[in-house]
Structure 1
Amino acid sequence: MDALTDLVTNVGDFIWQGMFIVLIGIGLYLTIRTRGVQFRSIPEMFRILGEPSGKDSEGRTQISSFRAFTISAASRVGTANIAGVALAISIGGPGAVFWMWVIASVGAASAFVESLLAQLYKHPGKDAYVGGPAYYMQRGLRARWMGVAFAIIICLTYGFVFNTVQSNSIVDAISQSTASFAPGLAESMGLKVVLGVILAVLTAVIIFGGVRSISSFTQVIVPVMAVMYVGLGLVVVVMNITEIPAVFMQIIEGAFGIREFATGSLMGVIVQGVRRGLFSNEAGMGSAPNAGATAAVSHPAKQGFVQSLGVYFDTILVCSITAFIVLLSKPTFGDEAAGASLTQTALADQLGGWAVHFLTVAIFLFAFSSVIGNYYYGESNIQFLTERKWVLQVYRIVVLLCVFGGTIAALDLVWSLADVFMAVMALLNLIAILLLAGVASKVLKHYERQRKAGKEPIFHASDMPEITGLETWDGGDEVTTRQFWIDREAMRQPAKK
């Protein structure tokens, strides 16, 4: 097992030596191409988030921007925010946090473009729209082979590898809590097996209900877990407010190699930050667009704005809270890789032993919601690959086996596998959005012209006939009609006396 872990780790290290250049390079190009949309349009991101979705032809309420946001947030805001940040700091030192911020700020442009494209080329599914990189590779680039390759990789990465990571982190956290009153039980295989069965059963109950069941779950659990964790983190920050400037200095000094950390080089610090930042916020990786495509919105650019906001929410807010909690405890760096247990120990140092158990609950909610979000990404791509129902059922069963298996797998091997799969998937998607950047730029300008004219932006395929391969946007959705927004504005105006 150690030899396999070393092999996978070495492969991941080799790939990531170049991937961080690709990520930042394409992110910067898209930032220029969209004229810094991720910075200048932050107010627009919040304006759109709560918009209604209208009803479909059968009178059912469609999936809204907020529900699509929570599906992607369920996957984004997971153990990477707790275990991944702690792992980056334990290996790369405080400077890794700075590079997580950089990849989020630059990557938000990639997130905008990929989710806009997912909306533009979405496909009408049975219960809701489906879409994502596989769909815009096929319809936008006319490269089905590329879409098939991406679909296979994301099914393996999210359904299998990443879900193994999530259940692994749940066990790590629960073992840390259990060790305080039953050390023998905490390390026992029996506990891991029981937890694996419980997680698999809970997952099955939700994923067999389809996308509407998934979005109903995530739109409740994501806000609850986020408020709970961020609130506790802010308490820790306020308690140590005088030390925050020193923490920032640690991060900046470490980011530029002013001080030496476990990696022994500036490159090591950068790579750790970029790896964990991408695993956390998923900007440019091609995952969130699968959620963004499910929404019924009036214009494709709207989900671009919403998913860019998701990157900030994940990394600038939630990951930073974890970083402050860990760094305020003054941990040592480089002794060994540490995940969620490092964050738990740091929180207990600040608030007392009860905080270990509180964080265990938070980690469970974070990780379990990620399992659900990760599974949906796989499901939407299974539908791209084949319409045979039995294939989806088999996929669900294998996902459940991976959720169970993650409870007994080794932490190092699981994270190393995640690194390799994540890099390959991101590279395919980044090539696609780079080639389709011109299309995204045109659609964004179409949106902005309407906003400047004081209109709520709507999009019909006939507005831009030069863009081919579109299956939807024929004006059939209620929210894509001008009358819908006129009526909504009239309802919002106070009644005239």
Structure 2
Amino acid sequence: MLDFLNDLLWGKVLIVLLITVGIGFTVASRFVQFRYFGRMFRILGASQAFQRDKHGHLSSFQALLLSVAGRVGGGNIAGVAVAITLGGPGAIFWMWMVGLMGMATSFLECTLAQAYKQAEPDGTYRGGPAYYISRGLGRNWKWLAGLYSVLLLATFGFGFTALQSYAVATSFDDAFGVPVFYTGIGLAMIVGLIIFGGVKRIARVSEVLVPVMAGSYILIALAVLGLNLERIPDVFMLIVNSAFGLEQAVGGGIGAAILMGVKRGLFSNEAGLGSAPNVAAVAYVPHPANQGIVQAFSVFIDTLIICSATAFIILLSGVYDPATASDVGGVALTQASLAEHVGEWGRSFVSVALLLFGFSTILYNYYLGENSLNFFSTENQNLFNGFRVAIIGLVCWGATTDLGTVFAFADVTMGLLALANLFALIMLIKPGLRIMRDFDDQIRAGVEQPVFDAARFADMNVDPVAWEIEPEDLERARQAATRPATATSN
């Protein structure tokens, strides 16, 4: 039954919906992910001014790193290898296409998450799909918001936390021979110390961990590219030709290339699933579109940079052979490929990278679970402490248990989660475009740092308290954003 539901959801329904929303919003927004790609760097620079606000909110940059911590995981290492094994090199081209369209989807869902975020008594924010469903779609849809929160808790808070713990423990065992039991205990202790500090401590850890882990992986990929400069054009043409069936001897033909590229791209970058908006809503920014632009870049980092790094490591090696591709797949293919480039220590490097990616994802999954509980209650500290204890137990248990059934169940709940979110995105595409146009209009008027005036959007049921920007923070952001550039050079 689980296999049937997974095949129905991920093999048919969700692929169509995710691509439709991605392409539809890309066109409706006039390719917003490309129009504002350069502005993203200016937004991140200005966000450092907001990091010094008196309430201690998360900055746009911290929220970006936290979402990258969640998006970047085993799919970037093992998932890409599976895509190449089953779909051939052409799968990478379609993964790129899904990533580019997914940037628009991420912009939409994260902009909505910011617009409909809710201010908490302590000055922090909460938001995400449950909030833009309940506030944006109205009281009659609050049941869907509640269902979404339950699915989020079951999928990320519980299911994927245990699965990531298993991946981390087995990776550490493969690399260094440390029994999974001891890794599970150590991991549970470290996770416990971090999550009891709340989202701010998780963000501080991500600020250090994400650049180190992603940067190291990109650097090793660049080293591989440097060692094989003359072969890069050939590999690129192999990817493109295979994507359109011009290399039929490679992989399973154009159909398999499209299917595996689309599926693995969607699994990896999570655009449309509604997970990243839970983090995006926490950031303290002057306009919702700011965080939409930044979160679109996190999809670019995940799919266009890190997934591509794995793909080129594999395709530039002599390990991948379409005739015997099914014999070596997943992490083993990536490990063997890197080892051929840099020596046997490359196997250990991949295991350590998988460990770090998995660990950062556990922290991200915990926050998603906490946010889902917040939708039902914000004051019951016993509930949150109980959840934290449960997470510690899950980390320990997951490290030592074969979780095949749990994985299949989590895939189904994640599919239902995506269905709920995509329905909400389709229903809220007009408010999303309205917010984007407000940002566009201010940019065209020469405003360096657009500001969201909640009073002008009162009919959308936004929380005005969540959009009270401190004047000194806004002035610092404007100064940071001011550069000698024209309004059209964004």
Q: Identify whether the pair has TM-score above 0.5, normalized to the shorter chain.
A: yes
Contact 2:110 2:281 in 1 (8 A): yes
**Equivalent position of 1:224 in the other structure:** 212
Write the mapping of 1:181-200 to structure 2, written as runs, cut at 5 A. Answer: 191-200=179-188
Distance 1:56 1:410 in 2: 42
Answering whether residue 359 of structure 2 is matched by residue 371 of structure 1, we say: no
**Equivalent position of 2:419 in the other structure:** 427
**Equivalent position of 2:446 in the other structure:** 454
> Could you say if the C-alpha distance between residues 56 and 123 of structure 1 is closer, same or farther in structure 2, counting changes exceeding 3 Å?
farther
The CA deviation at 1:243 is 2.0
**Equivalent position of 1:464 in the other structure:** 457
> Could you say if the C-alpha distance between residues 112 and 383 of structure 1 is closer, same or farther in structure 2, counting changes exceeding 3 Å?
same
Listed one character per residue, the Cα deviations across residues 168-219 of structure 1 (whole Å, up to 9, x for unaligned) are 32234323324xxxxxx57xxxx11111111111111111110111111111
SS of 2:438's equivalent in the other structure is helix
The CA deviation at 1:155 is 1.3
The CA deviation at 1:381 is 1.4
Distance 1:295 1:423 in 2: 27
Give, as a single letter, the amino acid of the residue that structure 2 aligns with 1:87.
V
> Could you say if the C-alpha distance between residues 343 and 55 of structure 1 is closer, same or farther in structure 2, counting changes exceeding 3 Å?
closer
Distance 1:97 1:56 in 2: 37
**Equivalent position of 1:339 in the other structure:** 330
Question: Gapped runs of 5+ residues in structure 1?
Answer: 1-6, 179-184, 493-497
Give, as a single letter, the amino acid of the residue that structure 2 aligns with 1:28.
I
Contact 1:54 1:61 in 2 (8 A): no
The CA deviation at 1:51 is 2.0
> Could you say if the C-alpha distance between residues 313 and 57 of structure 1 is closer, same or farther in structure 2, counting changes exceeding 3 Å?
closer
> Could you say if the C-alpha distance between residues 341 and 409 of structure 1 is closer, same or farther in structure 2, counting changes exceeding 3 Å?
farther
The CA deviation at 1:56 is 10
Distance 1:375 1:368 in 2: 11
**Equivalent position of 1:79 in the other structure:** 74
Listed one character per residue, the Cα deviations across residues 392-441 of structure 1 (whole Å, up to 9, x for unaligned) are 22322332333233323447556544533332221211111111111111
Listed one character per residue, the Cα deviations across residues 269-324 of structure 1 (whole Å, up to 9, x for unaligned) are 33322222122111111011111111110011100000001110111001100111
> Could you say if the C-alpha distance between residues 477 and 156 of structure 1 is closer, same or farther in structure 2, counting changes exceeding 3 Å?
farther
> Which deviates more, 264-273 or 375-384?
264-273
Answering whether residue 173 of structure 2 is matched by residue 175 of structure 1, we say: yes
Distance 1:490 1:323 in 2: 39
**Residue of structure 2 aligned with 1:106, choices 101, 104, 109:** 101
Answering whether residue 147 of structure 2 is matched by residue 158 of structure 1, we say: no
**Equivalent position of 1:181 in the other structure:** none
The CA deviation at 1:476 is 4.5
Give, as a single letter, the amino acid of the residue that structure 1 aligns with 2:288.
P
Listed one character per residue, the Cα deviations across residues 89-140 of structure 1 (whole Å, up to 9, x for unaligned) are 2333322222211111111111001000000011123462111000000000
Contact 2:242 2:253 in 1 (8 A): no
Distance 2:482 2:22 in 1: 40
**Residue of structure 1 aligned with 2:135, choices 139, 155, 163:** 139
Distance 2:151 2:249 in 1: 34
Write the mapping of 1:305-454 to structure 2, written as runs, cut at 5 A. Answer: 305-329=293-317, 330-332=319-321, 334-335=325-326, 338-387=329-378, 388-410=380-402, 413=405, 416-454=408-446
> Could you say if the C-alpha distance between residues 488 and 26 of structure 1 is closer, same or farther in structure 2, counting changes exceeding 3 Å?
closer
Distance 2:37 2:370 in 1: 31
Contact 2:184 2:397 in 1 (8 A): yes
Give, as a single letter, the amino acid of the residue that structure 1 aligns with 2:108.
V
**Residue of structure 2 aligned with 1:115, choices 90, 106, 110:** 110
**Equivalent position of 2:124 in the other structure:** 128
The CA deviation at 1:44 is 1.1
**Equivalent position of 2:25 in the other structure:** 30
The CA deviation at 1:49 is 1.4
Write the mapping of 1:3-22 to structure 2, written as runs, cut at 5 A. Answer: 7-18=1-12, 19-22=14-17
Give, as a single letter, the amino acid of the residue that structure 2 aligns with 1:26.
V
> Could you say if the C-alpha distance between residues 465 and 92 of structure 1 is closer, same or farther in structure 2, counting changes exceeding 3 Å?
same
> Could you say if the C-alpha distance between residues 207 and 246 of structure 1 is closer, same or farther in structure 2, counting changes exceeding 3 Å?
same
> Could you say if the C-alpha distance between residues 464 and 268 of structure 1 is closer, same or farther in structure 2, counting changes exceeding 3 Å?
same
Distance 2:392 2:347 in 1: 28
Contact 1:326 1:343 in 2 (8 A): yes
* Same amino acid, percent of matched pairs: 38
Contact 1:299 1:480 in 2 (8 A): no
Listed one character per residue, the Cα deviations across residues 248-272 of structure 1 (whole Å, up to 9, x for unaligned) are 2332343334455898564443332
Give, as a single letter, the amino acid of the residue that structure 2 aligns with 1:270.
I
**Residue of structure 2 aligned with 1:300, choices 282, 288, 297:** 288
> Which deviates more, 124-133 or 430-439?
124-133
Give, as a single letter, the amino acid of the residue that structure 2 aligns with 1:207.
I
SS of 1:42's equivalent in the other structure is coil
Write the mapping of 1:282-301 to structure 2, written as runs, cut at 5 A. Answer: 282-301=270-289
Which TM-score applies when normalising by structure 2? 0.89
> Which deviates more, 386-395 or 454-463?
386-395
Contact 1:33 1:437 in 2 (8 A): no
**Equivalent position of 2:487 in the other structure:** none
> Could you say if the C-alpha distance between residues 263 and 332 of structure 1 is closer, same or farther in structure 2, counting changes exceeding 3 Å?
closer
Write the mapping of 1:42-81 to structure 2, written as runs, cut at 5 A. Answer: 42-52=37-47, 59-81=54-76
Give, as a single letter, the amino acid of the residue that structure 1 aligns with 2:270.
E
**Equivalent position of 2:269 in the other structure:** 281
SS of 2:465's equivalent in the other structure is coil
The CA deviation at 1:144 is 1.0
The aligned length equals 475
Listed one character per residue, the Cα deviations across residues 47-71 of structure 1 (whole Å, up to 9, x for unaligned) are 1112236679993432111001011
Contact 2:158 2:369 in 1 (8 A): no
Listed one character per residue, the Cα deviations across residues 32-57 of structure 1 (whole Å, up to 9, x for unaligned) are 12111011110111211122366799
Distance 2:473 2:76 in 1: 36
Question: Gapped runs of 5+ residues in structure 2?
Answer: 485-490
Which TM-score applies when normalising by structure 1? 0.88
SS of 1:347's equivalent in the other structure is helix
Distance 1:480 1:41 in 2: 23
Distance 1:408 1:91 in 2: 29
The CA deviation at 1:338 is 3.2
